[in-house]
Structure 1
Amino acid sequence: MKIGIMTFHAAPNHGAALQAYALQTQLEKMGHEPFFINYLYGEQPRKGLLGWIGRSPANTFEKVDKQFRYRPFIPFQNKYLNVGDVRFLSYEQLYAVPPEADMYICGSDQVWNPNFFNKEKDERAFWLDFNNNGVRRVAYAPSFGVTHLGDDAVRRYTAYAKHFDAVSVREKNGLHLMEKLGRLNAVWVPDPTLLIEPKDFVKIEQKHQQSLKPYLFSYQLQTRRSLPSAATAINKTVCSWFGLELYDSYSVSVIYNIFRRKYLNPAQWLYKLHNSDFIVTNSFHGTVFALLYHRPFITILRKGLSSGMNNRIETLLEVVGLSNRSVTEFDQYRVEKLCQEKIDWSGVETNIKEFRETGIKYLEDALI
């Protein structure tokens, strides 16, 4: 079956790229022909001088940052992701001449986050609100990224949700949100990165600055200036406890990364994380790969406006029985206690396997 996937496959984010690779890999294992619908939304990096120079120093900084963030991901996308030949530059183009497929899948990632899209047309695209020619529509593990939907979002989303033949969500609280949209049959499934085996990721790893000393892998999804103070304190405590070097892998902060070559592509990012001795992160996918690669970790939950994103991490840690590995503030006693605790990786594997089977079973039923 030819399956068109709508997700953030081209985003300069390691988790976004790897969940896309994982869903594609699982669908191929099931005998299907998946491809990513090449829909461009939001502001993309421009080519030429205009791609580097902005209206002000601050805007120029943003443009340079965007160029350097996107560049490492392009070779990975070209090598590992089956992207459709047609580039859809607008919703109107997608609606008028949609890609040929036997089925459309949206997800995973936060493709249903109401705060992600400036244009309602982009929102409609990721809810597969195009092409009424009878092509089946399936949602695999999309995330809302919030715990509450406003009345206007409920109105729009209810209309979108009616067109799906099968619906699943990545977070447990997504089931409640789907009920508000009139879909009482939604299924809670794992992120695509948990559908496939660790060996499927190991085979695409790319060596990068191999370290001769044990190190802590720190991955925080903020700029260096806005890093939570908890991350800095936790990194310092863990490094001191185990005698580790610190390896910071920031997703942004261009000046810091340019001179330290820290803009890793997804394959390099996997390698550095896999070969670390401890992981400190506020990232959902950073936590996922700590689990898959059996690396001791501490996950920092977010505060403020982005706290709605914590449910995905809390849900995951609940599934594997490691809810105690998340923190919101720096507490030296608690951090040192987590350094001492041994993780029951066999129990983690058992729980992941059961959750994985739920996701595969959902796909098998939805793809009939």
Structure 2
Amino acid sequence: MKIAGLTWWRGNYGSILQAYALQELISLYTNVEYEILDQYGEIASVGNLCDRLRRWGIKKTLKKIRWKFASSGFKARNEALQKFVDEKLRLSDYRYTEETIKECLNKYDGFICGSDQIWNPLLSSVNDIYWLGFAGEDKLKIAYAPSIGVDECNDDTAKTIRDNLKTFDFISSREQSSSDFLNYLLGDNLCETVLDPTLALPRDKWDEILPKPKLSSNIKYVFAYILRGNKEQRQLVEQYAIEHGLKVVSFPYLDSDYIEKYDKQFGDIQIYDASPTDFVQLIRGAEYIFTDSFHCTVFSILYHKLYCLFPKIGKTQNVRLNDLQQKFQIEDRMIKSNNLLEVNSLKPINWETVDENLDVWRKKSVSYLVNALEKRKV
């Protein structure tokens, strides 16, 4: 059986790593032939430029191009991301668009969508390809851990989502809140909650692909991976590092929609040219993590790293982080003020309890995925 995946797999470290993780989970636990549909092409290409102009308009597109391609640092980051995609992701030979997607129907027995926020109606259309509306009734349709990111919507959107879901053979979501909302729309308990694929893939499988550390082993550091945030949060990281005798390692200007100018001076060690696996390796080697990122939190949990969460700017963004902590019985580590006392008062994490919960969730998630791909209702 040949299955194609549709998800976000570019633009940031988490998206790329979750796409890789689902690919590897399918290879590890099934004999299914799997590849990811290429709906992007090269990061810097005429086709992608045209797509962005249609979606964002000239002003926003030029702003994003400026931040992504105007300096050697951003070019190095894009090249590192693209290199991982080229070497690690199994992509379709042909690039599909919304207009040409049906041309792939004779190549695959089914489709799987997820993970990431591909179903969030605030980020993408409820009529786009990630809802698999192009696939006919004869094709297997599976949702693995997409996040919808909202708990309410207008009647028209609700009807479209409900109609989309009724065409799926298997439905799951990454957050319990998303599953509750989708089941409410369906009027039935058809949607299961499963792990993001980055958590479902065992840690030893990540260890196998990690590169040599970028930093010397004698450098003790705080890793600050802040997608949005503000100057005050970054200054809090600096205060923590000074108090604990640590360096600050940062990835400047991660989100071109939320540029924080303080990033220009933030970080004793600023890294632009990190690959997705460098990102994981830096988490693995850190003494402490500061982040507002879902996937940075995921790998902090996988590698038993104490972390502090900044509330993420943007409606509904923090639900994902809170749900993740609740899964593993981690006391909320999202701080409510930029106060060092609050950071230092965060309690230690019981990693034994975390691992016990992770094992239960991992078995459940793998079972769902295998059963879905083998077309077994349980």
**TM-score normalised to the size of structure 1?**
0.87
Q: 1:237 to 1:308 in 2, by over 3 A?
A: same
How far is 1:300 from its partner? 1.4
Task: Tell me how far apart the structure 1 counterparts of residues 173 and 24 of structure 2 sit (CA, whole Å).
Answer: 19
8 Å CA contact 1:40–1:87 kept in 2: the answer is yes
Once the two structures are superposed, the pairs formed by residues 316-327 of structure 1 within 5 Å of their partners are: 316-327=324-335
Q: 1:310 to 1:245 in 2, by over 3 A?
A: same
User: 2:152: which partner in 1?
Assistant: 148
User: 2:72: which partner in 1?
Assistant: none
1:17-47: CA deviations, max 9, x gaps?
Answer: 1111111111001222211011239x96435
Once the two structures are superposed, the pairs formed by residues 161-310 of structure 1 within 5 Å of their partners are: 161-182=165-186, 183-207=188-212, 209-211=214-216, 212-222=218-228, 227-250=229-252, 251-252=254-255, 260-303=270-313, 306-310=314-318
How far is 1:165 from its partner? 0.3
Task: Tell me how far apart the structure 1 counterparts of residues 129 and 106 of structure 2 sit (CA, whole Å).
Answer: 12
| 3-state secondary structure, aligned to 2:236 | helix
Q: 1:37 to 1:248 in 2, by over 3 A?
A: same
User: 1:114: which partner in 2?
Assistant: 121
8 Å CA contact 2:240–2:340 kept in 1: the answer is no
Identify unmatched segments of 5+ residues in structure 1.
Answer: none
Task: Tell me how far apart the structure 1 counterparts of residues 223 and 299 of structure 2 sit (CA, whole Å).
Answer: 12
Quote the sequence identity (%): 27
8 Å CA contact 1:190–1:355 kept in 2: the answer is yes
- 1:294 maps to a residue whose letter is H
8 Å CA contact 1:169–1:188 kept in 2: the answer is yes
Q: 1:187 to 1:58 in 2, by over 3 A?
A: closer
User: 1:362: which partner in 2?
Assistant: 368
1:42-85: CA deviations, max 9, x gaps?
Answer: x964359x89xx99998655314234353321110111111011
Q: 1:58 to 1:180 in 2, by over 3 A?
A: closer
- 1:302 maps to a residue whose letter is K
Identify unmatched segments of 5+ residues in structure 2.
Answer: 70-74
1:326-361: CA deviations, max 9, x gaps?
Answer: 2232233221112xx432212211111111111011
| 3-state secondary structure, aligned to 2:20 | helix
- 1:244 maps to a residue whose letter is L
| 3-state secondary structure, aligned to 2:332 | helix
How far is 1:188 from its partner? 0.7
Task: Tell me how far apart the structure 1 counterparts of residues 298 and 65 of structure 2 sit (CA, whole Å).
Answer: 30
- 2:161 aligned to 151, 157, 164, which one? 157
1:189-237: CA deviations, max 9, x gaps?
Answer: 1100111111211222223531332000000112xxxx33452243133
- 1:79 maps to a residue whose letter is E
- 1:242 maps to a residue whose letter is H
**Most deviating of 325-334 and 246-255:** 246-255
User: 1:311: which partner in 2?
Assistant: 319
Q: 1:152 to 1:286 in 2, by over 3 A?
A: same
Task: Tell me how far apart the structure 2 counterparts of residues 39 and 56 of structure 1 sit (CA, whole Å).
Answer: 21
User: 2:143: which partner in 1?
Assistant: 139
| 3-state secondary structure, aligned to 1:168 | strand
Task: Tell me how far apart the structure 2 counterparts of residues 272 and 361 of structure 1 sit (CA, whole Å).
Answer: 31
1:233-281: CA deviations, max 9, x gaps?
Answer: 4313321332111011232469968x95424220111111211110000
8 Å CA contact 2:84–2:275 kept in 1: the answer is yes
How far is 1:124 from its partner? 2.7
1:307-342: CA deviations, max 9, x gaps?
Answer: 40211111110111113322232233221112xx43
8 Å CA contact 2:142–2:168 kept in 1: the answer is yes
Task: Tell me how far apart the structure 2 counterparts of residues 184 and 346 of structure 1 sit (CA, whole Å).
Answer: 31
| 3-state secondary structure, aligned to 1:327 | coil
Task: Tell me how far apart the structure 2 counterparts of residues 99 and 215 of structure 1 sit (CA, whole Å).
Answer: 51
User: 1:129: which partner in 2?
Assistant: 133
User: 1:92: which partner in 2?
Assistant: 99
| 3-state secondary structure, aligned to 1:148 | coil
8 Å CA contact 1:45–1:63 kept in 2: the answer is no
Q: CA RMSD in A?
A: 2.9
**TM-score normalised to the size of structure 2?**
0.84
